[in-house]
C-alpha cells in the first residue's frame, strides 16, 4: 500500500514537469523547423504523450484502488451522453465506419450517477472499438435490465477500498469473459446467470456454437428494488478484428498500452480497460466482454443508477409516455437512436484545420477512385480531385465502406439477433433497429398529445401540402405495396405509389417529393437507374438524361422545373449482391432499409430524412 501511495505521489510530481516538456515541444513544432528537426520533434511529442498517458492512467488506477476516488452523484441524461460521446468520436473519426447509438425507450430521461466517469468509460470503450475496427460499425446500446444477480452479493458502493485486487477469471464456452473479485463460491452462480444474460444479447457472436438463446433468468427472480434504483446495461459493440480467446483473461488485468497516436487522435485522457473495470465495479456494476475473432467484440457494463425523482423508473412503455407528457419534452430528449454514417467525402474534405485530415485525403481519393473502377455504371459521378469547397462535394455521390468485405454483419430486428454471414459481399447499412427489450411503440392514430416521438409533421389532420411531407413509394410487388402503405399510413403519411423506375421518374417530373422510397429490382426500369436520372435532373436542371432513355416529360402538366433541394431517396433492398449498399450509394441513393420492411425501420428512416 505504501509503495502504491508513493507511486501515486511521485506520479503527481512527475506529471507537471513532463507536461511542461510536452507543451514546449508542441510550441516548438509550430516554429520554423527543417525536415530533420521536425522528425526529431515528432518523436519527442509521441514519447511525451505516451508517458503522460501512462502516468495519468497510473494515477487514476491508484486512486480507484486506494479508495480515494470519490464518486459524484449528478443528475444527467443518458441519451445526451451517448449522443455526445458518439458525436465526438464521429468528429475525429478517420476511418469509414458507421457509429450508432440505441437507447431503449424504457431508459429514463434522467438518472443520477457519476456522469464524468461514465462518459470516460464510454469514451474509452468506443475509442477502443474504433481503434480495432477497420470496417463496419461501432455502436452503443443502452437499455434497462432487471437487477442482476451479482447485485445481491452485496453492495460495492462507496470508497471503502473493498474492491479486492485479486481478480479471478473464468471463460465460458460461449466465449464471454467475466471477471470478478468475488469469492469463488458466488462465482459459479454469478457466471451462470450472467452468461445467460449475455447470451441473450450476444447471440450474434455464435451462429454456430451452442448459445442459450432463452431469456435471462434474472427477469424471473426480480427482487423488490428500492423504487429509485435502475440498472442500465450498456453494450459497446463493434465489427472489428475481435479478441482471441487467450487474450481475454488479461484484457482487464493490465491495460493495453495506449499508443501516442491514439492519445493524440482522440484527445483527452482515455482510461485503460483496467481502470474502466475498476470504476465500474466501484460504482456497483460489472464490465464484461464477449468477442469473436474477425467478427467483432462487445464490451458490456451494467451499472445501477438512482432514478431521478421527477420520473419513475418503470419500464412500462405506457408509463414512459406519461412521463414524457409530464415533462413536456421535445423530441430531442427522447430520441433513442443516433447514427453517424460515414459521410466520407463531405466531412473529410471540409476544413477543420487539423493536419490529420489533410493526411487522410489522398488515401480517400484513392479509395474513391478504385471503388469507382469496380465495374459500376458509366453514369457514375466523378470525384473532384482537388480540395474543392465542401459545397460542391456534397452533391457528389457518397461512398460507403467496405467494397469487398467477406464478412458482413446485420442486426436482424425481427429475430433480435445478429447475423454474421460470411458469404455475402454486400455490406448492409441497416438503418435502424429497435431497442432489444421493447416492441416497436405504435400509435394507431397520430395522437397529438402524449408521444413526442411522433413529431408535428405526422399529424394528418389537414390536407395542406405545405405541412405534410410528400412521399413517393416505388415498388412493383402488390403485397409489398400494401404492407408499406399500411405502415406509412399508421405513421400518418399518405403516399403516392408507382410500380417501376420509369413511372417514378415521371412522378418526380410532375411533383416535388420530400422523400422517395425506391425498390431496387423492378421491371421496366430498376431503382438504381431511376435514381441516377433523378440525380441528373437535380444537378443539371434538365431532364435530358431521362429523355434519352425514352421518358418524355408530360408537356400538358406544368412540371416543377426548378431543381429544388436534393430529394432523399431511400433504397428498399433485398440485400442481394446486385442490391448492395455500395451500388445504392454509387447510384445516388442516400440510404436504405432492408426488406422485409419493418415498421420500426421505416419510422426511424422517415424521422431521419424528413427531419
Partner 1 sequence: MDLAQLQRQLVDYKTSLYHEDFLDEQFTQLQELQDENNPDFVVEVVSLFFEDSDRLLNELTKALEQQSVDFKSVDAHVHQLKGSSSSIGAQRVQKVCIAFRNYCEEQNVEGCLKCLQQVRHEYSLVKTKLEFMFQLQQQILSAGGSIPM
CA 201-207-209 angle, 5° bins: 95
Q: CA-CA distance, 101 to 264, in Å (whole number)?
A: 24
Nearer to partner 1, 197 or 413 (CB): 413
The label of the residue with cell 460461449 reads 174
Minimum CB separation of residue 598 from partner 1 in Å reads: 6
Residue pair 280/121 in contact (Cβ under 8 Å)? The answer is yes
Selection from 569, 610, 573 nearest residue 590 by Cα = 569
Minimum CB separation of residue 601 from partner 1 in Å reads: 10
Q: Which residues contact 442 (CB under 8 A, 6 or more apart)?
A: 490, 599
Nearer to partner 1, 70 or 442 (CB): 442
The label of the residue with cell 433485398 reads 574
Label the pairing between strands 74-76 and 408-412: unpaired
- Whole-Å CA distances, 549 to 16, 135, 466, 507, 560: 71, 37, 33, 16, 20
Selection from 113, 101, 50 nearest residue 272 by Cα = 50
Minimum CB separation of residue 489 from partner 1 in Å reads: 8
- Count Cβ neighbours within 10 Å for each residue of 1-13 and write b for 16 or more, e otherwise: eeeeeebbeebee
Helix (H, G, I), strand (E, B) or coil at 515: strand
Minimum CB separation of residue 211 from partner 1 in Å reads: 18
Selection from 467, 611, 462, 589 nearest residue 532 by Cα = 589
Residue pair 274/60 in contact (Cβ under 8 Å)? The answer is no
Nearer to partner 1, 513 or 599 (CB): 599
Nearer to partner 1, 474 or 487 (CB): 487
Q: In this structure, what is the dihedral angle of CA atoms 465, 467, 468, 472, given to the nearest 10 degrees?
A: 70
Binding residues for partner 1 (CB under 8 A): 413-415, 440, 442, 444-445, 476-480, 482-483, 486-487, 489-490, 521, 523, 574, 576, 595-599
Nearer to partner 1, 151 or 487 (CB): 487
**Length of the chain in residues, anyone?**
611
Minimum CB separation of residue 435 from partner 1 in Å reads: 15
Nearer to partner 1, 147 or 604 (CB): 604
Minimum CB separation of residue 602 from partner 1 in Å reads: 10
Minimum CB separation of residue 520 from partner 1 in Å reads: 11
Nearer to partner 1, 414 or 554 (CB): 414
Minimum CB separation of residue 199 from partner 1 in Å reads: 19
Nearer to partner 1, 374 or 414 (CB): 414
Q: Count CB-CB contacts under 10 A for residue 467.
A: 13
Amino acid at each position: 500500500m505504501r509503495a502504491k501511495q508513493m507511486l501515486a505521489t511521485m506520479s503527481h510530481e512527475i506529471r507537471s514537469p513532463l507536461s511542461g516538456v510536452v507543451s514546449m515541444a508542441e510550441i516548438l513544432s509550430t516554429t520554423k523547423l527543417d525536415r530533420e528537426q521536425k522528425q526529431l520533434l515528432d518523436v519527442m511529442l509521441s514519447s511525451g504523450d505516451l508517458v503522460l498517458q501512462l502516468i495519468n492512467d497510473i494515477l487514476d488506477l491508484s486512486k480507484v484502488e486506494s479508495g480515494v476516488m470519490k464518486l459524484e452523484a449528478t443528475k444527467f441524461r443518458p441519451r445526451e451522453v451517448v449522443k455526445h460521446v458518439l458525436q465526438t468520436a464521429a468528429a475525429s473519426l478517420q476511418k469509414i465506419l458507421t457509429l450508432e447509438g440505441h437507447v431503449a425507450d424504457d431508459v429514463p430521461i434522467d438518472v443520477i450517477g457519476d456522469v464524468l466517469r461514465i462518459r470516460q468509460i464510454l469514451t474509452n470503450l468506443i475509442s477502443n472499438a474504433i481503434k480495432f475496427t477497420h470496417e463496419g460499425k461501432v455502436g452503443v446500446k443502452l437499455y434497462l435490465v432487471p437487477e442482476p444477480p451479482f447485485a445481491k452479493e452485496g453492495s460495492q458502493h462507496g470508497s471503502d477500498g473493498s474492491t479486492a485486487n485479486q481478480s479471478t477469471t473464468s471463460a465460458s464456452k460461449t466465449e464471454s469473459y467475466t471477471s470478478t473479485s468475488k469469492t469463488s463460491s458466488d462465482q459459479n452462480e454469478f457466471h451462470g446467470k450472467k452468461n445467460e444474460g449475455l447470451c441473450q444479447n450476444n447471440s450474434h457472436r455464435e451462429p454456430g456454437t451452442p448459445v442459450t438463446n432463452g431469456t435471462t433468468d434474472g427477469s424471473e427472480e426480480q427482487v423488490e428494488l428500492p423504487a429509485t434504483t435502475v440498472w442500465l446495461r450498456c453494450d459497446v459493440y463493434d465489427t472489428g478484428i475481435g479478441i482471441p480467446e487467450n487474450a481475454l483473461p488479461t484484457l482487464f488485468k493490465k491495460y493495453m498500452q495506449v499508443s501516442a497516436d491514439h492519445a493524440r487522435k482522440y484527445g483527452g485522457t482515455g482510461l485503460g480497460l483496467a481502470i474502466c473495470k475498476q470504476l465500474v465495479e466501484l460504482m456497483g456494476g460489472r464490465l464484461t466482454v464477449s468477442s469473436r475473432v474477425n467478427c467483432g467484440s462487445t464490451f458490456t457494463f451494467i451499472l445501477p443508477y438512482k432514478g431521478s425523482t421527477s420520473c419513475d423508473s418503470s419500464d412500462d412503455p405506457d408509463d414512459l409516455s406519461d412521463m414524457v407528457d409530464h415533462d413536456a419534452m421535445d423530441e430531442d430528449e427522447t430520441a433513442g437512436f443516433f447514427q453517424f454514417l460515414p459521410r466520407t467525402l463531405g466531412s473529410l474534405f471540409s476544413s477543420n484545420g487539423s493536419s490529420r485530415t489533410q493526411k487522410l485525403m489522398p488515401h480517400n481519393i484513392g479509395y474513391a477512385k478504385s471503388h469507382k473502377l469496380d465495374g459500376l455504371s458509366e453514369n457514375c459521378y466523378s470525384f473532384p480531385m482537388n480540395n474543392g469547397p465542401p459545397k460542391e462535394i456534397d452533391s457528389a455521390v457518397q461512398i460507403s465502406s467496405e467494397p469487398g468485405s467477406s464478412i458482413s454483419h446485420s442486426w436482424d430486428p425481427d429475430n433480435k439477433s445478429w447475423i454474421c454471414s460470411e458469404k455475402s459481399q454486400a455490406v448492409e447499412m441497416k438503418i435502424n433497429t429497435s431497442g432489444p427489450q421493447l416492441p416497436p411503440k405504435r400509435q394507431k392514430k397520430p395522437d397529438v398529445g402524449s408521444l413526442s416521438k411522433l413529431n408535428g409533421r405526422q399529424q394528418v389532420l389537414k390536407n395542406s401540402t405545405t405541412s405534410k411531407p410528400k412521399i413517393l413509394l416505388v415498388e412493383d410487388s402488390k403485397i409489398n405495396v400494401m404492407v408499406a402503405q399500411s405502415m406509412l399510413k399508421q405513421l400518418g403519411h399518405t403516399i403516392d405509389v408507382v410500380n417501376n423506375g420509369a413511372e417514378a421518374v415521371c412522378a418526380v417530373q410532375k411533383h416535388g417529393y420530400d422523400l422517395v422510397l425506391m425498390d431496387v429490382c423492378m421491371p421496366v426500369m430498376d431503382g438504381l437507374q431511376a435514381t441516377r436520372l433523378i440525380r441528373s435532373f437535380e444537378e443539371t436542371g434538365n431532364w435530358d438524361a431521362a429523355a434519352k432513355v425514352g421518358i418524355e416529360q408530360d408537356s400538358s402538366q406544368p412540371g416543377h422545373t426548378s431543381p429544388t433541394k436534393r430529394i432523399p431517396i431511400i433504397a428498399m433492398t433485398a440485400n442481394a449482391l446486385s442490391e448492395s449498399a455500395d451500388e445504392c450509394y454509387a447510384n445516388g441513393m442516400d440510404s436504405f432499409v432492408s426488406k422485409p420492411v419493418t415498421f420500426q425501420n421505416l419510422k426511424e428512416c422517415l424521422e431521419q430524412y424528413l427531419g
